Each structure stands twice: as structure tokens, then as C-alpha cells.
Chains A and B, each alone.
Chain A
Amino acid sequence: QSVLTQPPSASGTPGQRVTISCSGSSSNIGTNTVNWFQQLPGTAPKLLIYSNNQRPSGVPDRFSGSRSGTSASLAISGLQSEDEADYYCAAWDDSLNVWVFGGGAKLTVL
């Protein structure tokens, strides 16, 4: 049972916009910034979004992040087949003094 709650799966067709949610609490997302990671099959995770909505250099602007209250969202616009991957959110938890991850959402491009 993960501290951050993500839907286990998401899907869309090429060109569509999809969003993946990440629900937490006042001690994690409500207080601290959210990171998002993409893990392609058989590879190490890669940073996609940091500080709620910042993209590292090299990450396409099709990927965007937002935070509202104790929840965060990752949006992917102009969906492409190569976006098929697992997506994870993470944040520091002030009450537990640990980093917490979501359980991951598997994105399928139909």
C-alpha cells in the first residue's frame, strides 16, 4: 500500500492528451514539491518533472505537471507510442521523514 495513490493504469490513442493523478496528504504533497518519473520497459527510471511543474532539459514540453492541495497530476499531450511506460510520482513526507512514491501507473498507447 503506497502512501501516494496513483491509478494503476491509463491509456490513450496517439495524439490524445492523458493525465495521471497522484493523491497524497498534507504531510507530503500538501507541503513539499512533487517529482515525476518515466520508466520505459527494462530501463532505469528517468526524471520527467521536478518541483511540481519543472521540466529538465531534454524533456519534451508535451509533458507537464501541476499540483493542487494534496494532489498532483502529470499531463501528456500529443500522445506518442514511445510514451508507453510506467509513471511514478514521489514527494518527501514531513511526518514520516521518508521519501514516498506512488505505486506507479502503466500507460498504454492504443
Chain B
Amino acid sequence: QVQLVESGGGVVQPGRSLRLSCAGSGFTSSNYGMHWVRQAPGKGLEWVAVIWYDGSNKYYADPVRGRFIISRDNSKNTLYLQMNSLRAEDTAVYYCVRDPDDYFDYWGQGTLVTVSS
């Protein structure tokens, strides 16, 4: 069965960096686009970034463009999110999500990132 497991969250000071990982299993990752979606405490869902199945294209939400980098290693079935220059407003649960064809079919359980001094 399809599983997505995020890791790498934690407490980090403003201005510092953090890298999230998402390990996929039960499917061949090179056949799917992948997203990061976040949810601040008590708030709604916010799309963060997408990477195409082969890594050839990447798109970012305005609040993170220039600070976050999405990447993938299909040989390891793993998705990454490098988060730099973190701000308090980046505090959220970060979900990785699989995309077969312009829809979000499987979500991980999420990893919490807290940006605080």
C-alpha cells in the first residue's frame, strides 16, 4: 500500500535552516509529481511547492519562493524540502503529497516545524 512518511521537523530559531524528508513506499516515485503542503496551527491548508515526476520543473508559493528548495531522489523514493531563512510564520505541519495527474491522492501524516527563539 502507498505510504508517505515525513521526517526532519522540530524546533528551529528564526533565520536558521531545516531540511524535511519524505520517504515513499508502495509505488514508483518516478511516475508521480510530488508536493509539499503546510498547515499552520488552527489554520487552513497552504500549498508550498511542487516538483514534477522527473524533477524537471518546480513551482513555489510566493511566501517561500527564494527561501525553500524542493528536490527529489527517485532512486531512494524520497522527496525533500530545504527550508532556509526560516520565519515564525513558517511554523506549521508540513505534509508531503503524491500527485498522479493534477490531483493530490495520498498524503503523509505530516511533520511539525516550529520556528521560535
Which A residues lie within 8 Å of B105 (CB)?
47, 50, 56
- Size bin of chain A's contact surface: 20 to 34
Bound complex: CA of A108 vs CA of B49, how far in Å?
Answer: 31
Give the contacting residue for A35; candidates B60, B95, B103, B108; CB below 8 A.
B103
User: A63 at interface (Cβ–Cβ under 8 A)?
Assistant: no
**Smallest beta-carbon distance A98→chain B, Å:** 5
Main secondary structure of the interface of A (DSSP, over half): strand
Q: Which of B34-75 contact A (CB under 8 A)?
A: 35, 37, 44-47, 50, 59-62
- Size bin of chain B's contact surface: 20 to 34
Contact A44 B103 (CB under 8 A): no
Bound complex: CA of A70 vs CA of B102, how far in Å?
Answer: 18
Which B residues lie within 8 Å of A2 (CB)?
44
User: B104 at interface (Cβ–Cβ under 8 A)?
Assistant: yes
Give the contacting residue for B102; candidates A39, A56, A92; CB below 8 A.
A92
Binary interface profile of A, 89-110, with partner B (CB < 8 Å = 1, else 0)?
Answer: 0101000111111111000000
Contact B47 A90 (CB under 8 A): yes
User: B24 at interface (Cβ–Cβ under 8 A)?
Assistant: no
**Smallest beta-carbon distance A103→chain B, Å:** 5
Bound complex: CA of A33 vs CA of B60, how far in Å?
Answer: 20
Contact B103 A50 (CB under 8 A): yes
Contact A44 B50 (CB under 8 A): no
User: A45 at interface (Cβ–Cβ under 8 A)?
Assistant: yes
Bound complex: CA of A47 vs CA of B103, how far in Å?
Answer: 8
Contact B47 A35 (CB under 8 A): no
Contact B110 A104 (CB under 8 A): no
Nearest B residue to A34 by beta-carbon distance?
B103
Residues on A lying within 8 angstroms of B by beta carbon are 2, 32-33, 35, 37, 39, 44-47, 50-51, 56, 86, 88, 90, 92, 96-104
